[in-house]
């Protein structure tokens, strides 16, 4: 079993329910959620919106490979009503967003057969306090596989 850390976010609809629905589907399709952070209200990042976000982080034990986890998270996003992904740094409001942050201590960059790109660890995670606050809550002492810093240390530096 591998431990994968996921970042969750939503800024449309019933936000708390969106996160709860995502966590339930993650349990059903990816693996056992062994820890879940509190839900954090955050401002939009990278675009202007009147809708605040609700963000969380989860640790999941899975038998799936990183690319299989990516496929499942994208399927869950579609099942929960997400119709488009952010492209080329153009962000928009969304019902649900599920990002792979860490998969064990893997460092990799691959393209899936469907054309989706997966980079681990998530390349922007250390720049985003809306990712690092919930992640540091559930995994303060986990080391970033590239920087070697703890999640709490990365958050404290933001």
* pLDDT tens column, 46-65: 878 889 999 999 999 999 99
Residues 6+ apart with CB under 8 A from 31: 1, 4, 60, 61, 62, 63, 64
pLDDT of 112-149, one tens digit each? 887 878 999 999 999 999 999 999 999 999 999 999 99
Element containing residue 135 per DSSP (H, E): helix 129-138
Backbone φ/ψ region at 145: left (φ over 0), alpha (ψ -120 to 50), beta = alpha
pTM above 0.85? yes
Rg of the chain taking only CA atoms, in angstroms:
14
Strand 31-36 with 108-111, pairing: unpaired
Contact 27, 33 (CB under 8 A): yes
Higher-confidence position of 45 and 8: 8
Question: Would you state the torsion angle of the CA atoms of residues 38, 1, 116, 26, taken in this order, to the nearest 10 degrees?
Answer: -40
């Amino acid at each position: 079993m591998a431990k994968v850390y996921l970042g969750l976010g939503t800024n449309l609809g019933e936000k708390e329910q969106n996160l709860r629905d995502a966590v339930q589907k993650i349990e059903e399709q990816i693996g056992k959620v062994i820890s879940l952070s509190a839900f954090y209200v955050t401002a939009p990042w990278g675009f202007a919106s009147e809708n605040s976000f609700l963000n969380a982080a989860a640790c999941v034990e899975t038998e799936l490979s990183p690319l299989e986890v990516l496929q499942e998270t994208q399927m869950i996003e579609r099942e929960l009503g997400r119709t488009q992904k952010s492209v080329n740094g153009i962000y928009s409001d969304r019902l649900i967003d599920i990002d792979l942050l860490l998969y064990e201590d893997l460092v990799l960059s691959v393209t899936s057969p469907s054309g989706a790109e997966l980079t681990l660890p998530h390349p922007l995670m250390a720049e985003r306090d809306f990712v690092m606050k919930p992640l540091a809550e559930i995994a303060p002492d986990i080391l970033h596989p590239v920087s070697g810093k703890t999640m709490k240390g990365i958050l404290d530096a933001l």
